[in-house]
Structures are given as C-alpha cells and as structure tokens.
Amino acid sequence: MMFVGSKHCQRCGAAAAVPEVAEAKDRKCPRCQTDMAYVTVGSTGVHECERCFGLWLDVASFEKICADREQQSAVLGFASHDPAHAAADTNKVKYVPCPICSQLMNRMNFARCSGVIVDICKQHGTWFDRDELSRIVEFIHGGGLEASRVREKEEIREERRRLLEQQAAADTKVSGYFAHAADDHRLTGIASARGLLKFLLD
C-alpha cells in the first residue's frame, strides 16, 4: 500500500491512482447499510463505503483486476480518503448480503490458499473488507494465483488418475465375478452330467 499523499508507489514506481467519485448508483454497504460512493480506480469502477472503506466489485471488474497488471498497480496506489477513520470490526464472522440481490454471500478463501477471506455472490460480485483487495493483488504479484492454478491442475490430474484406478479395479472385480460364475456353472453342468450317467448305468 502507498502512503496518503504519495504520488508514486515506493515499490514499483507506478503513479498513484486518483479516484474519481461519481454517483452512488443505489448500492448500500453490506456491513454498514449506508450508501456507497462509486469511484474509478485506474479504469475500473468500484463501489466504496466511506465509513468502513470496504469495496464492492462486480464480476467483470474483479476479473479485469486479476488479469491486468496496470489495474493491479492502480489498486495498490488507491488510498482511502480517511485512513485514520476507525474501520468496522471484521474479526467476528458475519455473513453479509449482496448489495444487488440481498442474498447472503458465501465466505471463501480467495484461490483457496491466499488467506484472504472474501464475501462472494457468484452472480453479481465480491465484497472486500478494508485492505482485502490490496492483499489479494499482493498475493497475485507474488505468484500466488498462478501457483494456485498449477496446484489445482495437479489435483484434477490426481483425481482423474484415482478415478481411473478405481474404475479399473471395479472392472477387474466384475470380470472376476463373471469368470467365477461361469466356472461354477460349468462345474455344476459336469456334476449333473455325471449324475445322469450314473442313473442310466444303474
């Protein structure tokens, strides 16, 4: 994160993003239930709560930030207007409603290994408590997202291999059962033939 008033990022030298405030577009903060301001960070529009400094991003906006390094730099350069303001207590687990559909959102560990728990409405977007978005960007910059994708692919390959082994074992078991049943049927037939022959001879 950059200090308030800084013109450039101390880490990468990127110019600080100056948020452009627009209309609130009738979005209420899921924690404070107050109207959020619509601001532009880089070229991405987000809703910000001026009380708890949480951010709401729709699905497309968040995907854009995850894929675009310039947008990520803009996020890191984005500073809250009043950092000394007391942030909302987010340590206590609380499910919050989606600002659009009002349904309670799911809490998820971003990329399953980032350690950043965000609130997600799969249809409409993601809620980030204070500093969570910047922590996710730092996670992406550190190669965390790519490593997570590689790990997920490996898990999928391992699961596919395990399923194939289970299927092969099941096929072997079924084949063995039918082979055993065929042997039993053949032995039963032989025994019946012997019994019939003995009856005729007697």
Over residues 139-162, the pLDDT tens digits come to: 988 888 777 777 778 778 888 888
Q: Could you tell me if 168 and 69 lie in one domain?
A: no
75 and 49 within one domain? yes
Question: What amino acid is encoded at 142 in this protein?
Answer: G
Structure tokens at 63: 């995907």
Do 81 and 127 belong together in one domain? Answer: yes
Same domain for 124 and 150: no
The pair phi, psi for residue 193, each rounded to 5°, is -65, -40
CA distances to 162, 187, 188, 189, 199 from 196, in Å: 51, 14, 12, 11, 5
State residue 20's pLDDT score.
Answer: 45
- CA dihedral defined by 40, 37, 111, 60, rounded to 10 degrees? -60
Same domain, 131 and 147: no
Q: What is the distance between the alpha carbons of residues 54 and 59, in angstroms, rounded to a whole number? A: 16
Q: Which amino acid type is present at position 184?
A: D
The whole-model pTM stands at 0.61
* Whether 120 and 40 share a structural domain: yes
Per the domain annotation, does 5 fall within a domain?
no
> Does one domain contain both 28 and 128?
yes
Q: Is there a single domain that holds both residue 50 and residue 114?
A: yes
Domain containing residue 167:
143-202
Question: Within a domain: residue 10?
Answer: no
